[in-house]
Amino acid sequence: MVNVDIYDINAILLDIEGTTTSISFVKDVLFPYIRQNLIRYVKDHWKNAELIKDIDSLRMQAVEDLKNGLNVVQIPDIDEEEDRLQEAIITNVFDQMDADRKTTALKQLQGHIWREAYHSGKIEGHVYEDVMPALKSWKTAGKHVYIYSSGSVEAQKLLFGATTYGNLLQFIDGHFDTNIGPKKESTSYTKIANECGYQAHQILFLTDIPEESQAAKNAGMKTTLVSREGNKSLCEEVVKEFGEVKSFDQISLL
């Protein structure tokens, strides 16, 4: 275990699932909510402009998947028979979720479905107990804090806006999702650094996924892996390469 000294760091970029938030919250609370409510949501919001846009994105993703040789359910045109179209949407979404895909189209729709659950108080966002104290101390030290997750920006704001510790959005300076690019590609981190107005080396990226750490490091960011209970265990080699913290308490502000 290492303490990460962030005296020369101006900003901290945080992953969500497996880093600020337990994988179990995502897998056992958020995803089941989609499975239980997707059919009702689609029927209730049928012809709603936001849902039409989400369906268009799913359709475009399915076409691209087919081009890339993936055997996925295609989404018929909007003027197709209602039942057939809805069935295709539901199968496509469930298949993507079964494969734990992180497509922007899927994540966008999921965020819209979770909105009602957060707003009604049915779901509260999980964050580890060390997260809020760390956010507070980083902000007090004048650091900027950003989120980069496969979850859509809207889903991120819902989660941090209604956590079991209250609304944490006041501690977050900006949000990025896969609209900026995939999390395992270094160009995404270069773009994030540019958007934040920092050199990549001034940013510390914290994630549970070694490939994401590698991509950020390739872009010039400082990185440390986060190992939370319930995460996939990290092999010795990657811990040696990127370092590891089990809690944000271990990130010291010297």
Ligand X SMILES: CSCCC(=O)C(=O)COP(=O)(O)O
Judged by CB under 5 A, which stretch of 9-17, 117-125, 189-197, 244-252 contacts Mg ion?
9-17
| Among 208, 210, 223, 251, interactor with Mg ion by CB under 5 A | 208
For helices 153-161 and 104-119, give the axis angle rounded to 10 degrees: 30
3-state secondary structure 21-65: ECHHHHHHHHHHHHHHHHHHHHHHCCCCHHHHHHHHHHHHHHHHH
Say how far apart CA 74 and CA 54 lie, in whole Å.
14
Nearer to ligand X among residue 16 and residue 62 (C-beta): 16
Nearer to Mg ion among residue 73 and residue 225 (C-beta): 225
Counting contacts by CB under 5 A, is residue 17 touching Mg ion? Answer: yes
Shortest reach from residue 114's CB to Mg ion, in Å? 17
Instruction: Please report the sign of the dihedral spanned by the C-alpha atoms of residue 249, residue 24, residue 115, residue 95.
Output: positive
Nearer to Mg ion among residue 39 and residue 239 (C-beta): 239
Say how far apart CA 74 and CA 92 lie, in whole Å.
7
Nearer to ligand X among residue 115 and residue 139 (C-beta): 115
Residue 188 marked as a ligand binder = no
Q: Using CB positions, name the residue nearest to ligand X.
A: 151
Residue 67 marked as a ligand binder = no
Nearer to ligand X among residue 85 and residue 224 (C-beta): 224
Nearer to ligand X among residue 231 and residue 250 (C-beta): 231
Sheet holding 222-226, edge to edge: 174-176, 144-148, 11-14, 203-207, 222-226, 244-245
Q: Using CB positions, name the residue nearest to Mg ion.
A: 18
Instruction: Please report the sign of the dihedral spanned by the C-alpha atoms of residue 118, residue 121, residue 126, residue 129.
Output: positive
Counting contacts by CB under 5 A, is residue 18 touching Mg ion? Answer: yes
Residue 186 marked as a ligand binder = no
Residue 152 marked as a ligand binder = no
| Binding at 157: pick from ligand X, Mg ion, none (beta carbon under 5-8 Å per type) | none
- What's the CA angle centered on 229, arms 145 and 219, to 5 degrees? 40
Say how far apart CA 25 and CA 213 lie, in whole Å.
22
Residues that bind ligand X (CB under 6 A): 15-18, 26, 30, 102, 107, 149-151, 155-156, 159, 183
Say how far apart CA 116 and CA 119 lie, in whole Å.
5
Shortest reach from residue 1's CB to ligand X, in Å? 22
Shortest reach from residue 225's CB to Mg ion, in Å? 10
| Among 4, 13, 15, 168, interactor with Mg ion by CB under 5 A | 15
Taking alpha carbons only, the member of 9, 248, 10, 25 closest to residue 151 is 25
- What's the CA angle centered on 250, arms 126 and 185, to 5 degrees? 70
Residue 229 marked as a ligand binder = no
Site residues for Mg ion per CB under 5 A: 15, 17-18, 208
Q: Which residues are annotated as a binding site for Mg(2+)?
A: 15, 17, 208
